[in-house]
């Protein structure tokens, strides 16, 4: 057997990512809680107590992360918890987030904190949510409050998680609240999100000059389904521009491009210290002139790619490499803020982890500026409209009993985090079936 080690640079960050609503439980003051009550989740499921971090189980889960050699963790703040109504701050709730950030530092882990991860307080929804430009000011005030409270422990910030998913799912496809399918309303939300990000960036830097601030963009690779067909190529580029670049570009050049529109957003220019990439998979795209809802494209998975348990994710590590190539044009450091797969049986996950980290290693060896990797996720959690039907955790969770069970992938990931490297030994132990592919003779 070949013996080899793919090393990562000293100081590389290895961790997992979580989001408040998905792990805390009982966040009744949000639009997602309301959305669940209206029966929008698969099989009418509910988030319930999630991973019970609300009662303090984050402590044992942070222990799990630290014991498996993770040196960072990304978590988010539930806006509705710390600001239950526009003029009330819940200081106890803020103190808990301080304790969590401190808890990570005590365990030798660097906290990365997300300010907005999909959920909105009900009072914000009542005032029109992200369609109302007043949200910019409200988000800025909330940001300042959080940063003032956590600045002692945190200097790595994500303003908004996947604004492209938030707008696509909530305002174009109607799958997330508020369940709208309207490109004009989506445009309003997009403009306000870009402006709120820019304002939050400035606010964070005013409070903490050394802060590192970015957005986490859901990057999807779009590949023309028929190589010979120019219209497939054109639509793949069009989709990529709209999905991947829409929020990443304004901080680069001060322009927001949406469909055929272009709007100057000068305040956004220069408001990105790093680019956060959430990568899961890629799509084949076929031009389809009558598919208005799909913006003139039919998307499908590559028939040669392995699919996850619920066929939600195609294992496409090359798309991960493409995401780094794409990110280079921003000339800023890159963090992989999410990457993972749903797999209750942990059959495909070890392979998925190895193949993706291998692609990331290649990019790092081109001296591309990748600084860290956050696996999605630590413990099985509530997966939005897909409820509990998808299991992304390194640890399995039985939500009723709150019993956690370590999956083999947790040990694989621990070996990578511990050695800051992917070794032939780990590949042989956790995914021997791809040994020859990773280490060709």
Nearer to ligand BGC, 43 or 367 (CB): 43
Nearer to ligand BGC, 22 or 192 (CB): 22
Nearer to ligand BGC, 61 or 338 (CB): 338
d(C-alpha 49, C-alpha 51), whole Å: 6
Please check whether residue 339 is in contact with residue 373, taking contact to mean a CB–CB distance below 8 angstroms. Answer: yes
Q: In angstroms, what CA-CA distances link 224 with 230, 245, 317?
A: 9, 18, 17
Shortest distance (Å) from residue 218 CB to ligand BGC: 5
Shortest distance (Å) from residue 371 CB to ligand BGC: 19
Shortest distance (Å) from residue 327 CB to ligand BGC: 17
Nearer to ligand BGC, 161 or 167 (CB): 161
Strands 72-76 and 110-116, by their bridges, are: parallel
Shortest distance (Å) from residue 338 CB to ligand BGC: 6
Please check whether residue 338 is in contact with residue 356, taking contact to mean a CB–CB distance below 8 angstroms. Answer: no
d(C-alpha 361, C-alpha 368), whole Å: 10
Query: Which residues contact ligand BGC by CB under 6 A?
Result: 19, 22, 161-162, 165, 218, 278, 338, 376, 383, 392
Query: Residue 85 carries which DSSP code?
Result: B
Shortest distance (Å) from residue 161 CB to ligand BGC: 5
Start-to-end CA distance of the chain, whole Å, equals 9
Shortest distance (Å) from residue 381 CB to ligand BGC: 7
d(C-alpha 371, C-alpha 208), whole Å: 21
Nearer to ligand BGC, 75 or 139 (CB): 75
Provide CB contacts within 8 A for 186, sequence distance 6+.
167, 168, 171, 172, 180
Nearer to ligand BGC, 251 or 393 (CB): 393
Query: Residue 58 carries which DSSP code?
Result: H
């Amino acid at each position: 057997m070949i013996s080899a080690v793919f090393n990562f640079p000293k100081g590389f960050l290895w961790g997992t990512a979580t989001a408040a609503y998905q792990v805390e439980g009982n966040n009744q003051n949000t639009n997602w809680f309301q959305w669940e009550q209206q029966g929008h989740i698969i099989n009418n499921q509910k988030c319930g107590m999630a991973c019970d971090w609300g009662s303090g189980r984050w402590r044992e889960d942070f222990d799990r992360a630290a014991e498996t050699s993770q040196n960072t963790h990304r978590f988010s703040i539930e806006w509705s918890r710390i600001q239950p109504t526009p003029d009330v701050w819940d200081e106890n709730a803020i103190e808990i987030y301080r304790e969590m950030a401190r808890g990570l530092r005590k365990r030798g882990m660097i906290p990365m904190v997300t300010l907005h991860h999909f959920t909105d307080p009900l009072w914000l929804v009542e005032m029109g949510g992200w369609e109302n430009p007043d949200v910019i000011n409200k988000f800025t005030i909330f940001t300042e409050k959080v940063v003032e409270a956590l600045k002692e422990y945190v200097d790595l910030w994500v303003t908004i998680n996947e604004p492209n998913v938030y707008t696509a799912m909530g305002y174009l496809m109607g799958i997330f609240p508020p369940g709208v399918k309207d490109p004009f309303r989506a445009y309003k939300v997009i403009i306000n999100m870009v402006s709120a990000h820019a304002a939050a960036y400035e606010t964070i830097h005013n409070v903490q000059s050394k802060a590192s601030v970015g957005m986490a963009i859901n990057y999807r690779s779009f590949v023309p389904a028929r190589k010979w067909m120019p219209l497939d190529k054109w639509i793949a580029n069009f989709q990529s521009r709209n999905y991947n670049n829409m929020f990443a570009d304004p901080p680069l050049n001060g322009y927001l491009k949406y469909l055929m529109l272009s709007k100057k957003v000068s305040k956004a220019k220069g408001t990105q210290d790093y680019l956060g990439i959430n990568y899961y998979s890629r799509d084949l795209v076929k031009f389809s002139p009558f598919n208005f809802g799909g913006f003139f494209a039919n998307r499908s998975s590559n028939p040669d790619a392995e699919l996850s348990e619920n066929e939600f994710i195609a294992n496409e590590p090359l798309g991960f490499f493409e995401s780094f190539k794409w990110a280079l044009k921003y000339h800023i450091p890159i963090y992989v803020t999410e990457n993972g797969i749903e797999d209750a049986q942990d059959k495909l996950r070890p392979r998925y982890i190895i193949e993706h980290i291998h692609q990331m290693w290649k990019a790092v060896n081109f001296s591309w500026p990748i600084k860290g990797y956050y696996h999605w996720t630590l413990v099985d959690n509530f997966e939005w409209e897909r409820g509990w039907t998808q299991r992304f955790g390194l640890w399995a969770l039985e939500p009723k009993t709150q019993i956690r069970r370590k999956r083999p992938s947790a040990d694989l990931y621990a070996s990578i985090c511990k050695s800051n490297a992917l070794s032939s030994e780990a590949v042989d132990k956790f995914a021997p079936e791809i040994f020859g592919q990773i280490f060709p003779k």
